[in-house]
């Protein structure tokens, strides 16, 4: 992609860009942590406040966007990003809550089949979900949890090793919970391959797409994954604490007998307000809802999904690959041995993010990170020793990436 005819340039103007004390825009490479605010988020949020102010409870069923059908407004946009059928996705709750709700249904230990495979170094919340669920069943997390580590001296996991670990666990394996993109290293995994391996031994395959959705195209339906969950405040730009999302494969859509932690919003929408005591579960992912949706943390997602629909995830991915490769070139041009890229070198094996380790380890890494921040480059520092930078194709430019390279060069020279 050439810099001049980048068709996505116009989207940058649709976002609020954070500024320094002097009012100059910062170079924001932190969309993997909190995506920037679409300007339209404020408009939609204000419209919902107006509905509340002027309609009160009537806003539930009248007004511009009746709140009762709010989750459904996000279905098409989320399905496009997840590579799912509309009935397979739902916007609800927050990520960790959704993982718990889904594991309540899909982690059903029986006899010797009670173990769960995750990656060593998983995001702590995911590990807490799994160990918590194991203990909830009265089982021992120590013996039921399998944590796969990279090979000695390696930072990334090999697909073959994941498959081998699944094979090894065999008929003791109840469930695999795996990231779409690893939060610390930026490594992307192929859900289809992992789901196939899990299903081969009779286990369930679930995915945490916190760093994957809105970052790279997904094909969840075809991947045959059983379930997935994500948050919407990273690449989806829906704002701090925004409503999360979930995917449940169509083949589970009508399994009314599947145990679940139910609530009234999972009731078939057509009869929900008849207030009958019986829970008549809605088909599909919608049947995992428990509460009515938080309108003010969902409204910004509507704004963001509209931008994604306009840009198209495939076009965004093409630009993302080019942006990240440009950042990679900047880093490779730094003085030899100063910075090591932990993320995969193969663009297909990573998302937007590059994770860096610096010569001199955590202490110097932290100093360089602080110096970068002082120069207006916003990335983040993840313990123990990783500096993460992610250009987001909706609002970052090649000039941002170049500025980050120059600032990194200067920061390394000064420390």
Write b or e for each residue in 12-32: b if 16 or more Cβ atoms lie within 10 A of its Cβ, otherwise e.
bebbebeeeeeeeebbbbbbb
End-to-end Cα separation, the chain, in angstroms: 35
Nearer to ligand PLP, 252 or 388 (CB): 388
Alpha carbon separation from 167 to 121, 162, 218 (Å, rounded): 21, 9, 25
Nearer to ligand PLP, 95 or 387 (CB): 95
Q: Least CB distance from residue 350 to ligand PLP, whole Å?
A: 15
3 state SS of 299: helix
Neighbours of 144 (CB within 10 A): 20
Nearer to ligand PLP, 342 or 403 (CB): 342
Please spell the DSSP secondary structure of 305-328, one letter per residue: HHHHHHH-HHHHHHHHHHHHHHHH
Q: Least CB distance from residue 126 to ligand PLP, whole Å?
A: 5
> d(Cα 192, Cα 165) in Å, to the nearest integer?
16
Nearer to ligand PLP, 235 or 308 (CB): 235
> d(Cα 401, Cα 392) in Å, to the nearest integer?
10
Q: Least CB distance from residue 145 to ligand PLP, whole Å?
A: 16
Q: Least CB distance from residue 204 to ligand PLP, whole Å?
A: 18
Q: Residue 89 in contact with residue 246, Cβ under 8 Å? A: yes
Q: Least CB distance from residue 226 to ligand PLP, whole Å?
A: 18
Structure tokens at 207: 């995915």
Structure tokens at 105: 């249904």
Instruction: Give me the residue label for tokens 């909830």.
Output: 136
Nearer to ligand PLP, 95 or 372 (CB): 95
Contacts of 414 (CB under 8 A, 6+ apart): 371
Nearer to ligand PLP, 82 or 282 (CB): 82
> d(Cα 341, Cα 216) in Å, to the nearest integer?
20
Q: Least CB distance from residue 342 to ligand PLP, whole Å?
A: 16
Q: Least CB distance from residue 209 to ligand PLP, whole Å?
A: 9
Task: Return left, alpha or beta for 312; rule: phi > 0 is left, psi -120 to 50 is alpha, else beta.
Answer: left
- Which among 170, 130, 172 has a CA at the least distance from the CA of 147? 130
Nearer to ligand PLP, 212 or 358 (CB): 212
Nearer to ligand PLP, 11 or 28 (CB): 28
Nearer to ligand PLP, 180 or 344 (CB): 180
- Given the rule CB under 6 A, which residues bind ligand PLP? 94-96, 123, 125-126, 179, 183, 208, 210-211, 231
Beta bridge partners of 90: 246
Q: Least CB distance from residue 306 to ligand PLP, whole Å?
A: 22
Nearer to ligand PLP, 48 or 126 (CB): 126
Q: Least CB distance from residue 284 to ligand PLP, whole Å?
A: 22
Report the C-alpha dihedral over residues 97, 98, 100, 106, rounded to 10 degrees: 170
Q: How many residues does the chain have?
A: 415
Structure tokens at 266: 């999972």
Alpha carbon separation from 393 to 85, 154, 336, 401 (Å, rounded): 25, 29, 28, 11
Q: Least CB distance from residue 275 to ligand PLP, whole Å?
A: 31
For residue 27, which phi and psi values (nearest 5 degrees)? -90, 105
Residue 34: Cβ-neighbour burial (10 angstroms; 0-12, 13-18, 19+):
middle
Nearer to ligand PLP, 210 or 282 (CB): 210
Q: Least CB distance from residue 242 to ligand PLP, whole Å?
A: 9
């Amino acid at each position: 992609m050439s810099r001049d005819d980048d068709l996505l340039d116009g989207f940058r103007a649709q976002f609020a860009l954070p500024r320094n004390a002097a009012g100059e825009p910062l170079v924001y490479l932190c969309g993997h942590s909190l995506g920037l605010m679409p300007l339209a988020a404020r408009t939609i949020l204000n419209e919902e406040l107006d509905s509340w102010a002027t309609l009160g409870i009537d806003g539930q069923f009248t007004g511009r966007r009746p709140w009762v059908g709010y989750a459904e407004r996000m279905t098409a946009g989320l399905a496009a990003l997840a590579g799912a059928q509309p009935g397979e996705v739902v916007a609800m709750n927050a990520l960790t809550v959704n993982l718990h709700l889904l594991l309540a249904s899909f982690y059903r230990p029986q006899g010797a089949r009670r173990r769960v495979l995750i990656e060593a170094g998983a995001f702590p919340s995911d590990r807490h979900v799994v160990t918590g669920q194991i203990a909830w069943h009265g089982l021992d997390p120590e013996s039921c949890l399998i944590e796969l580590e990279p090979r000695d001296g390696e930072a990334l996991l090999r697909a073959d090793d994941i498959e081998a670990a699944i094979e090894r666990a065999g008929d003791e394996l109840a469930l695999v919970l795996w990231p779409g993109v690893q939060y610390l290293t930026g490594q992307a995994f192929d859900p289809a391959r992992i789901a196939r391996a899990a299903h081969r031994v009779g286990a369930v395959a679930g995915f945490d797409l916190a760093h994957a959705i809105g970052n790279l195209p997904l094909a969840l339906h075809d991947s045959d994954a059983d379930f997935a969950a994500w948050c919407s405040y990273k690449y989806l730009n829906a704002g701090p604490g925004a409503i999360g999302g979930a995917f449940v494969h169509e083949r589970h859509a009508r399994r009314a007998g599947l145990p679940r932690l139910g609530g009234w919003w999972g009731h078939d929408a057509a009869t929900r307000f008849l207030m009958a005591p019986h829970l008549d579960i809605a088909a599909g992912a919608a049947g995992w809802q428990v509460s009515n949706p938080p309108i003010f943390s969902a409204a910004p997602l509507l704004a963001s999904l509209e931008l994604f629909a306009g840009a198209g995830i495939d076009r965004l991915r093409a630009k993302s690959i080019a942006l990240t490769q440009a950042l990679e070139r900047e880093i490779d041009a730094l003085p030899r041995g100063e910075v090591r890229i932990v993320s995969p070198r193969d663009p297909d094996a990573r998302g937007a993010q590059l994770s860096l380790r610096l010569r001199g380890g955590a202490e110097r890494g932290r100093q360089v990170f602080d110096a970068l921040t002082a120069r207006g480059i916003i990335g983040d520092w993840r313990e123990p020793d990783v500096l993460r930078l992610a250009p987001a194709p909706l609002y970052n430019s090649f000039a941002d990436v170049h500025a980050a390279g120059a600032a990194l060069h200067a920061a390394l020279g000064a420390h």
